[in-house]
Homo-oligomer: A and B are copies of this chain.
Amino acid sequence: MKYPNGLKKKFTSYNTYANRGMSLESDIGSSNEYYLLNDIAVVYKKPTPITIAKVDYPSRVDAVIKEAYFKTPSTTDYNGIYKGKYIDFEAKETKNKTSFPLNNIHSHQIKHLQNIYNHGGIGFIIVRFTSLDETYLLTIEKLTKFLDNNRRKSIPLEYFKENGYFIKQKFRPLVDYIEIIDKIYFDGGNICQL
C-alpha cells in the first residue's frame, strides 16, 4: 500500500502490518514488475480490502470515499501465474532476530495456502528478518509441517534455514523468488502445459 507523506508514520500507531511489509513489499513489487516486463511470470498484489460506508459525488466523474474501514483479508496478498501454474503467497517482515511470530499471519491465510496446495497450486510465504537483512521462502508444505509438530507461537530462524530457502538480494529482480520456485517445483523445466 502507498500512503501520502505523513500517513506512513501515523500507521505505526496501529497498523504495524502495513509498515512491516512496506520495504519487502516494494522489493517484491519491483520484482513482480521485472517478471511482468520480461515475460517470466504474471504476479500482482491484491488491493487492500476495505468496506465502503460513505461515498460523495462532487460531480458525475469524481467519486470520493468519505468513510471506509479496513477489512481482514480473506486470502493472501499475492497471486499469479508462472509456467501455467497458479502461485500464491504472503510476504511479511519481522524485526525479531531469532524467530518469526506467527501472529503475523492470519490463520485463514494459512488455510488458504493449504487449500491452494490441495488444488495443485504453489503456495508459500516470504519472510524477511529486517534486523538481519535475511529473506527466506518457506513453502506451505514446510509451514504446515511445522504447525503440525509444534505448539510454538513463532517459527525459529533455524527452521527457515533448514527447511526454507534463503533469497539473496539481487540487483534485478530484487527478490527473485521465481528462481527458487523454479528449482523446487519445475526443476528448471516446464512441467505444466495446456
Contacts and interface: CB of A to CB of B under 8 A. Distances in A.
A65 B48 CA distance: 12
Contacts of A87: 86
Contact of A60 (B14, B62, B86, B88): B14
Nearest to A191: B194
A50 B50 contact: yes
A169 interface: no
Contacts of A68: 50, 64-65, 68
Contacts of A2: 51-52
Interface string A33-76: 00010010110101111111111010011111111111100110
Which of A4, A71, A74 is the most central at the interface, judged by chain B CB atoms within 10 Å of its CB?
A: A4
Contacts of A44: 74-75
Interface stretch (A113-121, A130-138, A149-157, A159-167): A113-121
Contact of A42 (B62, B84, B119): B119
Contacts of A191: 194
B69 A194 contact: no
Contacts of A67: 64-66
A60 B13 contact: yes
A113 to B, nearest CB: 10
Contact of A66 (B13, B66, B80): B66
Interface of A: 1-4, 7, 10-11, 13-15, 36, 39, 41-42, 44, 46-55, 57, 60-71, 74-75, 79-88, 112, 115-116, 118-122, 185, 190-194
